[in-house]
Structure 1
Amino acid sequence: MFFTMNENGFQTKLGFDELQISPQEDHGFRPYQLFVSSIVGCSGGVLRKILQKMRVQVDDIHISAQVQRNEEKANRIEKIHLTFMLYGENIPLGKVEKALKITRKNCSMIQSVADSINITEEVEIKDTDLPKSD
């Protein structure tokens, strides 16, 4: 990856699109947003794949991330709590909990920071009525 500076931060051209990074949210993605997004994207993708291998039918997965930062220490991320909301009919909670443990072990982003950031997970099983988009 190669990044170049611009007036508001940095940018890079990736296979999908150009990525703008800036400490100012109106000029690009903030670094902490990208960091948390990588944790969510990785763990969500791994969980999805594991559930498919376990033959657990899920209509949709939504993930909420609550982030605790420490202002006294460079505003570093100290804790990320992930809530995995799985939508579908008759989703077996026991299998999902097992899949979540396997996910944690196989998500490269979580494993990269496991010794420095407290990452916790929980799962909620929902019926097939998906929430309406705003």
Structure 2
Amino acid sequence: MKFSFENDCLVGYLEFGNLYASPNSLKGYKPYELMVTSLVTCSGALLVKLLQKKRIAFTNVSFQAEGNRNPDIANRIESIKITAYITFENVIAKEQLEKIEQLVIKNCGMLQTIIDSVNVTYSIQTKPAYGEGDAYD
């Protein structure tokens, strides 16, 4: 990967295209946004792969991520909570979802990189596509 500093932002010349990063949100993505995005992307892709491998039918997957930062220690990230919202075609047992959550945490390289220094919470909320059920559990 190649990077340069131009016009008050860092430009990454990456395989997909240029990526602009800056503490100023008018000039590029903030480093915190990139960090959280990498965690959600890695864990989310793994989650979808696990569901497909287990032949668990789903119609929609979305994510919400929240982080807590410590302004007294360089504004470091203290904790990150990632919630996957999945619409399944059939009801999925809570125990099976908990196993999948643990597999995601255990096998996601980005999460494993930070897990010893950041409190990571990963959960799956569900809703059946057809039949009974309210909003996400």
TM-score w.r.t. the length of structure 1 is 0.91
Q: Aligned-pair distance for 1:88?
A: 2.4
SS at match of 1:116: coil
| Deviation string, structure 1 residues 67-126 (Cα, Å, up to 9, x no partner) | 100011111111001111001221413322211111111100000011000000221102
Q: How many pairs does the alignment contain?
A: 129
1:101 alignment partner in structure 2: 102
Residue of structure 2 in register with 1:81 after alignment: 81
Instruction: Spell out structure 1 runs of 4+ moving beyond 6 A.
Output: none
What CA distance in whole angstroms lies between the structure 2 residues aligned with 1:91 and 1:105? Answer: 24
Task: Say which SS state the counterpart of residue 26 (structure 2) adopts.
Answer: helix
- Retained in 2: the 8 A contact 1:51–1:96? no
What are structure 2's unaligned runs of at least 5 residues?
131-137
Aligned to 2:59: 59
Q: SS of the counterpart of 1:38?
A: helix
- Is contact 1:56–1:91 with CA below 8 Å preserved after alignment? no
* CA distance in 2 between partners of 1:7 and 1:39 (Å): 28
Q: What SS is found at the alignment partner of 1:23?
A: coil
- What residue identity is the alignment partner of 1:107? C
CA distance in 2, matches of 1:94, 1:59: 20
- Structure 2 letter corresponding to 1:55: R
CA contact 1:104–1:110 (8 Å) conserved in 2: yes
Tell me if the contact between 2:89 and 2:129 (Cα under 8 Å) persists in the aligned partners: yes
Contact 2:70–2:77 (Cα < 8 Å) also in 1: yes
Instruction: State TM-score, norm by structure 2.
Output: 0.89
**Distance apart, 1:22 and its partner CA:** 0.5
Percent identical residues:
36
Once superposed, what is the RMSD of the aligned Cα atoms? 1.3
Contact 2:2 2:14 in 1 (8 A): no
Look up the SS of the partner of 1:64 in the other structure. Answer: strand
